[in-house]
Structure 1
């Protein structure tokens, strides 16, 4: 776990370095088991293509979870996330190869609030596509 981020050490405009989260189809199958979402668009290439998708796509909530993971990794305390919301703006296509794809998440501190809370805006991309928009979190800092 990362060191706990302190409110007094954070400034508005501060960038949080990007992190890459590799995604392979096995991750989607494991997520399906945990979430109960076994929609074949998330694991069956033939089915995904018959419904007009380019290939298997990651679960939206899986993608959202990688943004949450980024925040909790940065702050060092999963319980510090007060609020987290996103809009789904594009798909994360996961090819059937050994490399899969990557979800890249970065952040910037947008605002300092009372009670040692900050608003962090996230940029979440897969390749050149922004896959989450309006992604932001309110985080309680030490």
Structure 2
């Protein structure tokens, strides 16, 4: 028996906010939920990045909270800061996602030209969200202090 439903039930495509040129697509068909993304960047570290795709049946999608969270984090990372703040107030699940280091790491990476190993280590210590909201001078000072601590630890441990 033929279905009255069209094959594509829902589709939305878009581009990340400036300066991002990233493209994404969310497609819900009669049988699958598909999320596709293409990272478009002039940065050398992203030039060889291939498009990504996550496919699941409706049942698998509803059962797979990790995939749902991953998809939601990708979508949330394109929102303005005010919208992220508002979204975090809608439920415990969204509050947890909006505060997650995984989300803020994506946001920091989209805003920075490059992330040095020192910056990454500092972000792992202090959290990506905290790093995003810390001004550049404070970050430079904290990176310098971190290097000094590491240098003094190496010299005291022969």
Going by fraction, where is helix more abundant, 1 or 2? Answer: 2
Specify the structure having the higher radius of gyration (Cα): 2
Say yes or no: TM over 0.5.
Answer: no
Provide TM-score, normalisation by structure 2. 0.23
RCO higher in structure (CA 8 A, sep ≥6) = 1
Provide TM-score, normalisation by structure 1. 0.24
